Chain A
Amino acid sequence: GAVVSQHPSWVICKSGTSVKIECRSLDFQATTMFWYRQFPKQSLMLMATSNEGSKATYEQGVEKDKFLINHASLTLSTLTVTSAHPEDSSFYICSGGPGPTGELFFGEGSRLTVL
């Protein structure tokens, strides 16, 4: 399958700081990027959908001013967690697609810990 690279894999930050997570599609052009969040032993929760060159569409309950998503090119999307708090600690996963059969290709995930 296609490759999506996500960076950083792990990040620890102090409460109140901002953290940026990058997601790159290495061998295909992802017209759409999806950002998911996963708390321990829970499923993937879709946070937002972004299309290249347009504003992201956020799911209900997700604060767009807190989770800034930028999809400036067909190969790069970023998620910035602004003024992070301990409750933002989670596993954040990006995915790009759709692939030829409609599937999503996932990045490796970024585990954020806010102290």
Chain B
Amino acid sequence: QKEVEQNSGPLSVPEGAIASLNCTYSDRGSQSFFWYRQYSGKSPELIMFIYSNGDKEDGRFTAQLNKASQYVSLLIRDSQPSDSATYLCAVNIRPYSSASKIIFGSGTRLSIRP
């Protein structure tokens, strides 16, 4: 089982709709979770982070975390063509040890169609 799993997509969403991206992780001790956006040929850029169960909203983005189900998601409201990118879920595993490291999922390609 991979440590961080995402559906690779592509996920096609009409402009203005809500895009829903999902991620599961295997390490129950994980404490911090991140969503990065990566445009083709570019480095990832941080969109959101979440630590606590529940929802966290920032503009058009909402991150949702359910530690019991080991599940984290990202919702993008009012999707825009500029949101078309690969979205990477990242998990800080073993966060309180010297072996702490951030592992990435394989990413979900999102395409917003006009």
Contact = CB atoms under 8 A, between A and B. Distances in A.
Contacts of A34: 101-102
Contact of A102 (B41, B95, B105): B95
A46 B104 CA distance: 8
Chain B: interface secondary structure? strand
B106 interface: yes
A63 to B, nearest CB: 19
A93 interface: yes
A10 to B, nearest CB: 11
| Chain B interface size range | 20 to 34
Contacts of B51: 101-102
A44 interface: yes
B19 interface: no
Contact of B46 (A36, A44, A103, A111): A103
A46 B45 CA distance: 17
A103 B35 CA distance: 10
Most B-side CB within 10 Å, residue of A44, A101, A105, A108: A44
A21 interface: no
B101 A46 contact: yes
A103 B32 CA distance: 9
Interface of B: 32, 34, 41-46, 49, 51, 88, 90, 92, 95, 99, 101-107
Interface of A: 1, 34, 36, 42-44, 46, 49, 57, 91, 93, 95, 97-98, 101-109, 111
Q: Which 3 pairs show the lowest CB-CB distances between chains A and B?
A: A43-B106, A106-B43, A102-B32
